[in-house]
């Protein structure tokens, strides 16, 4: 049943630190291996939006996915078109049935 509902493909990104060649580190986002998952994204209404870290109410989405996806607020999510989304708050497990993840486009 949910296979029909989860019509979009996403993958996870994790922050990595690489040597900058000058004795320091550069942080960037890299694909998490084997992290592709199916889900569904919808635009949140003005009443549903949450204040993000920058204290603004930017365009926000809710991504629904299987409860078994190992995602945290420290990740980013990328859709199949290459758009990247920052996670605003920890994903919420709804009734051990699915995850709801509030994101904003990066």
**pLDDT single digits (tens) 30-79:** 999 999 999 999 998 877 877 655 556 578 999 999 999 999 999 999 99
**Alpha-carbon span 73 to 86, nearest angstrom:** 8
Find the domain containing 30 and state its range: 2-105
Q: Are 41 and 84 in contact (CB under 8 A)?
A: no
**Alpha-carbon span 20 to 39, nearest angstrom:** 36
The number of domains in the chain is 1
**Alpha-carbon span 32 to 17, nearest angstrom:** 14
pTM, entire model: 0.85
Find the CATH number of the domain harbouring 53.
Answer: 2.40.10.270
Q: Are 106 and 77 in contact (CB under 8 A)?
A: no
CA-wise closest residue to 73 among 28, 104, 46, 38: 104
């Amino acid at each position: 049943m949910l296979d029909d509902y989860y019509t979009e493909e996403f993958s996870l990104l994790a922050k990595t630190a690489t040597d900058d060649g000058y004795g320091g580190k550069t942080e960037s986002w890299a694909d998490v291996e084997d992290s592709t998952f199916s889900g569904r994204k919808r635009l949140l209404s003005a009443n549903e939006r949450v204040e993000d870290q920058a204290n603004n109410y930017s365009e926000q989405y809710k991504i629904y996915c299987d409860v078994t996806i190992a995602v945290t607020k420290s990740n980013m999510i990328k859709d199949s078109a290459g758009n990247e989304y920052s996670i605003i708050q920890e994903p919420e497990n709804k009734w051990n049935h699915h995850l709801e993840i509030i994101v904003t486009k990066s």
